[in-house]
């Protein structure tokens, strides 16, 4: 799995495709943003796919707040992309 993450982090085209797909999957209402509920669902799915432990609800709230850089209560694509990149880097550093 780590090798796949390394490859994604070094291949901008593949990384962007992954993030776009994850973002679209998370944006259930199609408004081009992710609210807290949508975010929780996508993180749970990502953890399932990567066979990682799921964060608690409190941890999810804290994560959401750190990703929502402009504090508007939603996550926009650019904020989500930064999060996914940092998340993958964090996995590699564990």
pLDDT, mean over the chain: 91
Q: According to the model, what pLDDT value does residue 94 have? A: 62
Q: According to the model, what pLDDT value does residue 92 have? A: 87
Contacts of 77 (CB under 8 A, 6+ apart): 19, 23, 32
Alpha-carbon 43 to chain mean position: 6
Q: According to the model, what pLDDT value does residue 49 have? A: 83
CATH superfamily of 2-93: EF-hand (1.10.238.10)
Q: According to the model, what pLDDT value does residue 19 have? A: 94
pTM of the complete model: 0.78
Burial 22-39 (b: 16+ CB within 10 A, else e): bbeebbeeeeebbbeebb
């Amino acid at each position: 799995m780590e090798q796949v993450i390394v490859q994604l982090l070094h291949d901008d085209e593949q990384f962007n495709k992954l993030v776009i797909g994850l973002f679209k999957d998370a944006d259930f209402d199609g408004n081009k943003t992710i609210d807290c509920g949508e975010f929780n669902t996508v993180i749970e799915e990502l953890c399932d796919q990567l066979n990682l432990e799921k964060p608690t609800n409190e941890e999810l709230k804290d994560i959401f707040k750190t990703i929502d850089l402009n504090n508007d209560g939603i996550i926009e694509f650019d904020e989500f992309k930064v999060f996914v990149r940092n998340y993958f880097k964090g996995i590699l550093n564990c």
